[in-house]
C-alpha cells in the first residue's frame, strides 16, 4: 500500500483524475487530501463526492472548508453554495467532521502550518488550517520568517496551502531529519519522551535514522540496567550512615549527597527501580547519581 498525498484541489475534478492517473492510484493506496478541496474550480461538488465516497481516503480541514463551516462566505464560496444547492447542509455536516491533522509513523500531514515545539494534538486549529487568524498568529511569533524555516520537529511535515516551487518542500525538511535528531539534548529528556521518540521512528524508511534510534534505545536501556547496582550502593551507604550517626540522626549528614532522596526512601521502605526512574527522570540526572555512587557501566 502506498500513501498518495494531494494538495489544494480547489474544485478541479478533471485535473485531479489526471493527476491520480499519473501516479496509477489503486484501491489499496491511501489517498490523503491536504484540504481546500472546494472553491475557485468549476467542479467542487464532484471533488467532494469523489473524496467522500472513495475508501481509504483522508481529507483534512483547509481554510476554505473552514470558511464554509464558519459561513464567512466571499464570492467564491457563494458560488459553491449555489452549486451544492439543497446538498449544502450535507456538505457542511461532512466538513464539520474533518480532522485538522493526520499523523503516521513517518510524517505529520496538515493543510497549512505547525508551530515549532508544540505537540501536534495541542496545535491551534487556525494555524493548522491556515485561516487568516492562524497566519496572523504565526506572523506575530515568527515575523516575516516562514514557519517551515524554523521547524525542528522530529517528523517531517507534509503540507499544502502555499506555493513552494517545483520541488516539494517536504524533501528539504526530511533531509534534516537525522541531523536534527542527532542534535537533540537527549540527556535532558525524560525516559518516557526518549522511548516515545524511539517508538515513533523505529519503522522509518530512513535506515540511518532507524539505526540511530536503535542505538539511542540501547543507550537508554544500558543506563537503566544500572539500577540494581545503584540500589545496592544506596543501601550500603545507608547502612554506613546509620552505623555512624544512628537511625534517628543520619538524615542531616545524608542530605549532602545528590542521592539523599534515595537514602531516605531506602530507610523508609524498599527502594525500587521504578522509584529510581521517577526520582532521576533524565539521563543527565541518572548519570550524575551513578557517578556519585561509583556505579560503573555494565
- The 3-state DSSP class for residue 4 equals strand
What is the pLDDT at residue 176?
A: 62
Task: Write the CB contacts of 34 (distance below 8 Å, at least 6 apart in sequence).
Answer: 5, 6, 7, 8, 60, 62, 109, 110, 111, 158, 159, 160, 161
At 103, the pLDDT band (50, 70, 90 cuts) reads very high
What value, to the nearest 5°, has the Cα angle with vertex 6 and ends 5 and 10?
160
What is the pLDDT at residue 159?
A: 92
More confident of the two residues 10 and 177? 10
141 vs 39: CA distance, rounded Å = 30
Q: How many CB atoms lie within 10 A of CB 47?
A: 23
Length of the chain: 298
Cell numbers linked to 107: 510524517
At 298, the pLDDT band (50, 70, 90 cuts) reads low
Domain 1-99, CATH number (from 3.40.50.720, 1.10.3210.10, 3.40.50.1100, 3.60.21.10): 3.60.21.10
81 vs 89: CA distance, rounded Å = 9
pLDDT, tens digit, 9 for 90 and up, residues 111-131: 999 998 899 999 999 999 999
pLDDT, tens digit, 9 for 90 and up, residues 231-286: 999 999 999 999 999 999 999 999 999 999 999 999 998 899 999 999 999 999 99
pLDDT, tens digit, 9 for 90 and up, residues 65-77: 999 999 988 888 9
Write the DSSP string, 47-109.
HHHHHHHSSSEEE---HHHHHHHHT---HHHHHHHHHHGGGHHHHHHHHHT--SEEE-SS-EE
- Check: pTM over 0.75? Answer yes or no: no
Q: How many CB atoms lie within 10 A of CB 146?
A: 13
Report the percent of the chain where pLDDT is more than 90. Answer: 73
What is the pLDDT at residue 167?
A: 60
Average pLDDT over residues 129-149: 88
More confident of the two residues 202 and 58? 58
What is the pLDDT at residue 209?
A: 86
Q: Where are the domains of the chain?
A: 1-99, 102-174, 225-293
More confident of the two residues 180 and 16? 16
pLDDT, tens digit, 9 for 90 and up, residues 178-229: 877 887 889 999 999 999 888 877 777 678 888 999 999 999 999 999 999 9
Closest CA to 262 of 16, 254, 162, 88: 254
What is the pLDDT at residue 172?
A: 45
Looking at every residue in the chain, the average pLDDT score rounds to 90
Residue 148 scores a pLDDT above 50: yes
Distances 290 to 189, 224, 261 between C-alpha atoms, Å:
17, 10, 14
40-44, 74-78, 145-149, range with the lowest pLDDT:
145-149
Cell numbers linked to 50: 469523489
What is the pLDDT at residue 171?
A: 41
Residue 174 scores a pLDDT above 70: no
Q: 234 with 263: CB under 8 angstroms? A: yes
Amino acid at each position: 500500500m502506498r500513501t498518495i498525498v494531494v494538495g489544494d484541489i480547489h474544485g478541479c475534478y478533471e485535473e485531479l483524475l489526471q493527476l491520480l492517473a499519473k501516479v496509477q492510484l489503486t484501491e489499496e493506496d491511501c489517498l490523503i487530501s491536504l484540504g481546500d478541496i472546494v472553491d475557485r474550480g468549476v467542479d467542487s461538488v464532484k471533488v467532494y463526492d469523489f473524496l467522500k465516497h472513495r475508501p481509504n481516503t483522508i481529507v483534512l480541514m483547509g481554510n476554505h472548508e473552514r470558511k464554509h463551516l464558519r459561513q464567512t462566505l466571499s464570492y467564491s464560496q457563494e458560488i459553491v453554495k449555489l452549486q451544492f444547492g439543497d446538498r449544502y447542509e450535507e456538505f457542511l455536516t461532512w466538513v464539520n467532521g474533518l480532522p485538522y491533522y493526520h499523523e503516521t509513523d513517518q510524517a505529520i500531514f496538515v493543510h497549512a502550518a505547525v508551530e515549532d515545539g508544540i505537540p501536534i494534538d495541542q496545535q491551534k486549529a487556525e494555524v493548522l488550517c491556515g485561516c487568516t487568524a492562524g497566519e496572523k498568529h504565526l506572523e506575530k511569533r515568527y515575523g516575516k520568517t516562514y514557519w517551515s524555516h524554523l521547524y525542528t520537529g522530529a517528523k517531517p511535515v507534509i503540507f499544502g496551502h502555499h506555493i513552494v516551487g517545483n520541488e516539494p518542500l517536504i524533501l528539504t525538511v526530511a533531509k534534516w531529519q537525522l541531523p536534527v535528531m542527532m542534535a537533540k539534548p537527549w540527556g535532558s529528556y525524560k525516559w518516557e519522551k526518549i522511548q516515545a521518540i524511539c517508538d515513533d521512528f523505529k519503522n522509518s524508511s530512513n535506515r540511518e535514522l532507524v539505526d540511530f534510534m536503535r542505538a539511542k534505545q540501547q543507550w537508554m536501556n544500558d543506563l537503566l540496567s544500572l539500577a540494581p547496582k545503584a540500589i545496592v550502593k544506596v543501601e550500603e551507604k545507608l547502612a554506613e550512615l546509620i552505623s555512624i550517626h544512628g537511625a534517628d540522626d543520619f538524615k542531616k549528614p545524608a542530605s549532602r549527597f545528590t542521592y539523599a532522596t534515595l537514602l531516605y526512601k531506602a530507610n523508609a521502605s524498599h527502594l525500587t527501580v521504578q522509584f529510581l526512574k521517577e526520582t532521576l527522570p533524565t539521563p543527565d540526572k541518572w548519570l550524575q547519581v551513578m557517578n556519585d555512587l561509583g556505579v560503573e557501566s555494565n
